Structure 1
Amino acid sequence: MEKFGSIRTAAFRSRLFSKEQEKSAHVQAKVYRLSMAHPGDLTALATLLATGEIEAQEIVAVIGKTEGNGGVNDFTRGFFTDRLMTLLSNYLDDSPEKIARTVPCILSGGTEGVLSPHYAVLCRSKVGGEKRENESALAIGATCSEDMPFEFVGTVEHARIVAETVKAAMADAGITDPADLHFVQVKAPCLTSDRIAELREAGKPVPAPTASASMARARAAGALGVALATGEIDEASLCDEAFLKDFNLFSTCASISSGVEVLCNEVVVLGMSSSWGGPLRIAHRAMEDALDVTAVRDVFSDLGFTNGIQISEADRERLKAIFVKCEPDQSGFIHGARHTMLNDTDIDPQRHIRGAVGGLVAGVSGDTRIFVSGGAEHQGPFGGGLIAVIAEAPAVEQTEGQEA
């Protein structure tokens, strides 16, 4: 295992091809979007591993949606992760605990409305044959920071650690220009009542008074850490007072989740790179609000999908993954009309917004296997969020590449 300061990454993922190998092979991303019947269902992946369709050594990360509540006590995330690492340990020469430190499994709970439980397996493989000249394709990188002290959760120091981890993940993906990034998924640790009590007993700073407040601050730190790494904000703008207050500071490509099941910061970056080949492409757009169907349509248009009321069934076969971040507008209004998400004591606001935005995106895509995560503090414009889509290039583009 190699270390990048406070960063961990699997050695087999960090090695680059030799000059001789580059002449006869190139790296290519593969994405498998798999459904699950329950939070511990890994039948689809187990089948693909058993048949050799997926090589365990090629799995870089897993990002998925479970039918849990998405809160502090959402144990579906840890359950799925445990099952995944146990499965991978049957194929990799390592324990489940060690694999969990190098293969991020980032899960978001909550499949409200029409959303469907699923997970995307992100792979990197060597492919024979020369890569098409001047081609850029989907690039994937992933790293994990060292376990972070609980007194850092949701602080400036947390943001700086995320920024360094993002840079390491970019290097892992071979992405040098932040402009080529389209989606940065971070899973950050959060505090629990027990962890808060431990900090107080030790006389250490307590960054947040409750577990829920800690999750929000951790998401803010993660988002501003991404923005720092990409140059969307500068070091001088980074201060604890800005967290959850100055929403002029944000990243247009960050997607942050927080949970009790991780002790480190897990980072997965998705972008475009000329060092990669293959048919997969990625695009993203910032969403101005929960009704921004224009941004949703535009991101599909960027990937060559024809404009229409809904993507056709035939065209949907090109879709490999859809990622969305969203947030209930804290002003209490959307397009001038009052919403009640923030004041509903029966249903958490994040569950409201996941169902609403999930329905919007599903209506355009015609697909319900969408990663929709709430809690978009500093992730996209205030009251909005972002959407990123991975899809195969249109047949015309692929044909032109073959002819070339």
Structure 2
Amino acid sequence: MRTTSVGVHKIATKGPGDVSGLMNLIGSGAIDPASILAILGKTEGNGGVNDFTREYAVAALCSALAPKLDLSAEAVEQRIAFVMSGGTEGVLSPHITVFTRQQVQQQPAGISGKRLSIGMAHTRDFLPEELGRSAQITETAKAVTAAMADAGIADPADVHFVQIKCPLLTSERVEAAAARGNKTATTSAYSSMAYSRGASALGVAVALGEIAADIGDQDVLRRYDLFSKVASTSSGIELMHNVVIVLGNSESSASAFEISHAVMSDAIDAAAVLAALGSVGLGARAQADRELVNIFAKAEASPDGTVRGFRHTMLEDTDISSTRHARAAVGGLIAGLAGTGAVYVSGGAEHQGPAGGGPVAVIARLSD
């Protein structure tokens, strides 16, 4: 008996504070605000420490949804998982993807096989000195397991994308740790983004059995042979805990959607993107009953300074961050293959796929 139905809506935005598209869908009855579980967005900021477009977007969404849910804006943020990824370089187009989940009373006609399911969990708040270290790995692994249970997914093989929003360090947070006699993994706010992303990704890998559990501080940003094939982590200044969203397929789902993934070996791995599209019936021989909803991917500048034997300059550009270069490059590749720039490409792929590469997941709508 299928118990839940998951919906997915991709909505273009005119700016970080634009909630009109979502409000129109709620007003028309296409989205029940009480069913919204998570919102993932791409905002047109720089994706760095000082990218306040992420916080602005979340605040705008919470304020707009609060009266619809009869909650305070603060309560909305606790109820719904918001993950805003800054940076829409190149052809990437700002948008949000809204995930809904509702209980169903009876088996819908025509639904068969495993369908899209979503689960959410939160870690506890971290101390600044715990970011990028074993505590973040361990607590993230626990949260991934909890989110899988929430999604009704028992087999790790059915997990195709794990999106995490994680904290970063600020000078105030570093000073707070020092006042307690503790050192943080780094004193650089920008570098802390990578440490937090990396530790969170390793937590996903531990939870899904992709790597052994006996890893620690010394492995973060050092052992790049350790990674998750489905983790996507994004750092932000607006929180001190990890928000974990698990996306996969489950027999208990009555959704009209399906998800699958592949792993890009580098920033120009078009074959992997095509494989991900093909795995949900959207490849070169696209099935007539399938429609692309969105693509989610990670991007980073290869840490060894090369792509397939040729030198790249992304790590040596003092004008533009390497994460912005990578988002633009991978975003352009995926947009060209998908036929749309409204795709979710996030920069900084430490321990998220092989070094220089990253996971790419595709959600398709099925017409039963």
TM-score by structure 2 length?
Answer: 0.96
User: Does 1:340 find its partner at 2:313?
Assistant: yes
1:300 alignment counterpart: 277
- Matching residue within 190, 195, 198 for 1:217: 195
1:75 and 1:85 map into 2 onto residues whose CA distance is: 15
Q: State the partner residue of 1:250.
A: 227
- Which 4+ residue blocks in structure 1 deviate beyond 4 angstroms? 131-134
Give 1:291 deviation, angstroms. Answer: 0.9
Letter in 2 for 1:199: A
- Indicate whether 1:329 and 2:302 are aligned: yes
Instruction: Choose 261-270 or 193-202, whichever is displaced more.
Output: 193-202
Aligned-partner Cα distance in 2 for 1:245–1:154: 12
Pairwise CA distance, 1:134: 5.3
TM-aligned CA deviation for residue 200 of structure 1: 1.3
Q: Which residue, out of 118, 121, 124, partners 2:98?
A: 121
**Distance in 2, Cα, partners of 1:102 & 1:164:** 19
SS at match of 2:78: coil
> For 1:148 and 1:201, how far apart are their aligned partners in 2?
16
TM-score (norm 1): 0.88
State how far apart, in whole Å, the 1-side matches of 2:28 and 2:345 are.
Answer: 31
Residues 35, 355 of structure 1: alpha-carbon distance in 2 compared, 3 angstrom cutoff:
same
What RMSD over aligned residues (CA atoms) do the two structures have, in Å?
1.7
1:207 maps to what in 2? 185
- Structure with bigger gyration radius: 1
Shift of 1:318: 1.1
8 Å CA contact retained: 1:161, 1:225: yes
2:338 is aligned with 1:365: yes
Output the CA distance in 1 between the equivalents of 2:158 and 2:294. 18
Which of residues 31, 35, 39 is equivalent to 2:8? 31
d(CA) in 2 for partners of 1:102, 1:222: 21
Q: Is the contact between residue 101 and residue 144 of structure 1 (CA under 8 Å) also seen in structure 2?
A: no
Deviation at 1:128, TM superposition (A): 5.1
Query: Cα offset for 1:335?
Result: 1.3
Structure 1 letter corresponding to 2:273 = V
Conserved? CA contact 2:111–2:254, under 8 Å:
no
Q: CA deviation at 1:340?
A: 0.5
Output the CA distance in 2 between the equivalents of 1:164 and 1:221.
13
Unaligned runs of 5+ in 2: none
C-alpha separation between the residues in 1 aligned to 2:123 and 2:222?
26
1:17 is matched with none
Q: Shift of the alpha carbon at 1:133?
A: 7.2
Distance 1:149 1:174 in 2: 31
Which position in structure 2 is the counterpart of 1:376? 349
Q: Distance in 1 between matches of 2:294 and 2:104?
A: 22
- Counterpart Cα distance in 2 of 1:139 and 1:117: 25
Q: Is the 8 A contact 1:68 1:110 kept in 2?
A: yes
* Residue ranges of structure 1 left out of the alignment (5+ in a row): 1-21, 399-404
Q: Which residue of 2 aligns with 1:277?
A: 254
> d(CA) in 1 for partners of 2:210 and 2:304?
24
Contact 1:104 1:144 in 2 (8 A): no
In structure 1, C-alpha distance between the alignment counterparts of 2:283 and 2:90, rounded to whole Å: 26
**1:320 Cα deviation after fit:** 1.3
User: Using the alignment, how far apart are the partners of 2:358 and 2:334 within structure 1?
Assistant: 13
1:90 has 2:63 as partner:
no
CA contact (8 A) 1:28 1:124 kept: yes
- In structure 2, give the amino acid aligned to 1:60: L
Aligned partner (choices 124, 127, 136) of residue 114 of structure 2? 136
Aligned residue pair count: 367
Deviation for aligned residue 1:194: 1.4
Give aligned-pair identity as a percent. Answer: 44
Residue 289 of structure 1 aligns with which residue? 266
Deviation larger for 171-180 or 298-307? 298-307
Which amino acid letter does the alignment assign opposite residue 239 of structure 1?
A: G
Alignment partners' CA distance in 2, 1:134 and 1:35: 31
- Paired residue for 2:44? 67
CA drift of 1:93 comes to 3.4
- The CA distance in 1 between the partners of 2:124 and 2:307, in whole Å, is 40
Determine helix, strand or coil for the equivalent of 1:208: coil
How far apart, CA to CA, are the structure 2 residues paired with 1:251 and 1:287? 12
Residue 321 (structure 1) shift: 1.6
Q: State how 1:155-166 maps to structure 2 within 5 Å.
A: 155-166=133-144
Q: Is the 8 A contact 2:201 2:231 kept in 1?
A: yes
What secondary structure is seen at the aligned counterpart in 2 of 1:324? strand
Higher deviation after alignment, 90-99 or 72-81: 90-99
Provide the rounded CA distance (Å) in 1 between the counterparts of 2:283 and 2:132. Answer: 42
Instruction: List per-residue Cα deviations over 1:63-98 (Å, max 9, x = no partner).
Output: 110000000000000001011111121122332112
Q: Give, as a single letter, the amino acid of the residue that structure 2 aligns with 1:283.
A: S
